[in-house]
Amino acid sequence: MDVSPERRLRGKVNFITWKREFEREAKAHDVLDLFTGDKEILEKPQKEDYIDDDDDKDGITIASTQKTLKNFHANTLRYTIDYNNWKSNRDSLRTANKLLNAWLCESICIKIEAAKHAKEAYDIIIARYKINNERARDELLSEMRKLNIENCVDVTEYLNKLRRFRSDLAGVDYKLTDGLYVTALLDGLDNKKWASFKDKWDTIRAIQLDANPDAAPSIDLLEERLHNKALTKQRREDEKRKQDKAKTKANVRTDPYPSFYSTKEEDRNQVKCNACSKTGHTKVTCWKLHPEKTPRALKDRIQSQTNNKGGSRFTKPADSTTIGDMAAFVAADVVDFKTKLDATTSIDA
């Protein structure tokens, strides 16, 4: 019997909910009557109590012998029946003990160790942790207001928790009307994700009240529409997930050098070429080993700058510029070109 820690009895804070869930579980195991006292806890029958000691002092006769045999068979049958009943009762009591211990936290189990059996332990728990109806009602209503569908796995779990609150409130003499139940259900829905659903329900409710001002809200209709809306949202999310997955597969590039294109920018900095000793690419994509892979735009730019250096700048008349100035200018231009070339190589790689 594995019970989650939040469902075990921790004290007065969760006594009402625990009592309802525990009694339901005990009823499922057919031991609830032992806890409520409707079923008596039997003592083990003793054989001595079933032996007839009434000896015939006048002597043994045929009649007395027949009577003795008749009583013996009757007593044996009665003992067998009582023993079987006690054995069945003992097995039920063992099941009740295991069930009760599984539904209690360790500190409470220590407090009831002195109890002889499950019924006595259960009575101790009821006497110690039972709270009055007013306090139980306030705590249940406060917890119900905090309930939100976002904290539940799905709509089914959300509705089940609301039904449990309604059942617990009925156990403390508080009737949660259909109107209050519907209000609590709608308050637990997120305004952003369920705004359209709330608007549609308000429209339906307005039509009902217009036809009959005293009409109670249809809980079955509301829960059914809530389930349908949840299924629709789940279906849309699944379709969107499939579409995104298909787009991701379609966007995967099939280049002959996937290690160059598919690598992220931050991962490229960790790659180093063994041919040119530069980072950002490998030998497969190195322009030094494979000049044909150099982009045409970069080739044209290099060729243009080379032509300018070899012709136009040296043939320029040196009216106001000395030969030393021109040499310094050309040297600076070469350094600038190398810097740009390294930067371009790193970016393209």
What tens digit of pLDDT does each residue of 192-209 get? 888 888 888 888 888 888
Q: Which amino acid is at 210?
A: D
Give the pLDDT confidence score for residue 124 in this predicted structure.
92
For 284-336, the DSSP string reads GG-TTT-GGGS-HHHHHHHHHHHHHHHTHHHHS--SS--HHHHHHHHHHHHHH
How much of the chain is helix, strand and coil, in % rounded to 5?
70, 0, 30
Q: How far apart are the C-alpha atoms of 210 and 218, rounded to whole Å?
A: 15
Give the pLDDT confidence score for residue 260 in this predicted structure.
45
In this structure, the number of other CB atoms found within 10 A of the CB of residue 96 comes to: 25
Partners of 9 in the β-ladder: 104
Give the pLDDT confidence score for residue 69 in this predicted structure.
66
In this prediction, the residues of the chain whose per-residue pLDDT falls under 70 are 1, 52-69, 250-270, 307-349
The answer to whether the Cα torsion of 14, 16, 19, 22 is positive or negative is: negative
Q: Can you tell me whether residue 279 is helix, strand or coil?
A: strand
Given a contact cutoff of 8 angstroms between Cβ atoms, the answer to whether 100 and 118 are in contact is yes
Give the pLDDT confidence score for residue 340 in this predicted structure.
63
Give the pLDDT confidence score for residue 125 in this predicted structure.
92
Q: How far apart are the C-alpha atoms of 265 and 269, rounded to whole Å?
A: 7
In Å, the largest CA–CA distance within the chain is 165
Give the pLDDT confidence score for residue 317 in this predicted structure.
43
Give the pLDDT confidence score for residue 270 in this predicted structure.
67
- Would you say the pTM of this structure is higher than 0.85? no
Quick one: angle between helices 15-28 and 62-102, nearest 10? 140
Tokens at residue 48, please?
């001595």
* Cβ-Cβ contacts under 8 Å for 34 (sequence gap 6 or more): 41, 92, 93, 96, 118, 119
- pLDDT tens digits, residue range 195-244? 888 888 888 888 888 888 888 888 888 889 899 988 988 898 888 888 88
Give the pLDDT confidence score for residue 326 in this predicted structure.
52
Give the pLDDT confidence score for residue 313 in this predicted structure.
43
